[in-house]
Structure 1
Amino acid sequence: MTLTILIWAVASVFIIHDFEEIIVMEGWLKRNEKDILKVLPKRFHNYFIRVFPRHTAGFALAVLVEYIGILLTIILAMGGAAKHWTLIGILSVVSILFIHSFTHICQAIILRRYTPGVATAVILLIPFCLYFYQFALVIEAIDWPMIWISIPVGVILVVFFNQVGLIWGKRLETYL
């Protein structure tokens, strides 16, 4: 395994995880939206209804926007010859995927049922992210301060790409 292969694997792991979500999201939402609104704080109801795509095409567009963001981050990391500053971007993606995995687990626990993405979060994302951290730490491509910096950077990146994707996905649904 090389760091280059591992960095490119981030895109594959992300898309496999999101394929699970894309494939089941529309039907799952139809069956579970009332229960989601019961556990979701009321102040988020309007946002959820207004912004979250309900159809596969809209949700897939949202995922595509996030995927493009990840690919740009990978290209920057590769273009920077995996230097310290360029690794922060890809490390941010890995850190957010790792944290995101636990949101899937929490959703499944709160709703007491399968939620889209929980299977690949447990089987794929968590082990991959732990391996990425371990491998990159051992070869000294990253260090713990970089991991801690990657978390707020990742939050900023994910909020931007996620919100743009969700808004575009919801707009697409008006044409369907």
Structure 2
Amino acid sequence: MKLAWGLLAAWIVHDLEELATMPSFSQQPDLPAPLTKVLPMSRREAATAIGLTGVAIAAASAAGAATGGRSKFFQASLMGFGLHAGTHVAQSVVLRRYTPGLITTPLVVIPFSVWAWRRLKTGGVPIAPTDRRLTVALTAIVPLSHVIARLPRLRRT
């Protein structure tokens, strides 16, 4: 199912923007104090975190393709991808500036997510109710990937 692989393609476009901008953004000296302690990342750390998250998105896309979009894992990942657009917008509003991922959010993330859900619905694919355990697990993937990416640095300190 092409729609399922579209999730991976949209994610790649979006995360290429994040990879290109996250390291320099994260090291800006005028970020609010809590962020300056958590955020600074090297290009390697950003690439590792993005790559680890990409493995989960690729697995979700494969599950969606194998089930014709019926997989709960795929649908939850598609939902998370669409909803995370709000975090990009909120970050930029709070910080009053560009934040990584902001450009592709309205150009890729939101349009793809809306289109994909409409295609699933018009294609007669039943929309699975959200499984709370799956939602919690998927929500943990991004922060966990960032922690794993920073482990080498944390071990040195």
> TM bucket by the smaller chain?
0.7 to 0.9
Structure 1 outlier segments of 4+, above 3 Å: 172-176
Give SS of 2:24's match: helix
CA distance in 2, matches of 1:169, 1:53: 12
Whether 1:122 and 2:106 are equivalent positions in the alignment is yes
Letter in structure 2 aligned against 1:72: A
Describe the shift of the 1:150–1:126 C-alpha distance in structure 2 as closer, same or farther (beyond 3 A): farther
> Aligned-residue CA RMSD in angstroms?
2.5
Return the structure number with greater relative CO, CA threshold 8 A, min gap 6.
1
The residue number in structure 2 matching 1:49 is 37
CA distance in 2, matches of 1:154, 1:73: 13
The residue number in structure 2 matching 1:40 is none
Shift of 1:62: 0.6
Q: 1:58 aligns with which of 32, 39, 45?
A: 45
TM-score (norm 2): 0.86
- Superposed CA offset, 1:4-59 (max 9, x none): 1110010011111111011011111222x54233xxxxxxx39x735x56111101
Decide whether the 8 Å contact of 2:15 with 2:50 is kept in 1: yes
Describe the shift of the 1:30–1:83 C-alpha distance in structure 2 as closer, same or farther (beyond 3 A): closer
Decide whether the 8 Å contact of 2:4 with 2:69 is kept in 1: no
The residue number in structure 1 matching 2:145 is 165
- Paired residues in the alignment total 156
In the alignment, structure 1 segments of 5+ residues that lack a partner are: 38-44
Identity within the alignment, %? 19
Q: 1:19 aligns with which of 16, 26, 41?
A: 16
TM-score (norm 1): 0.77
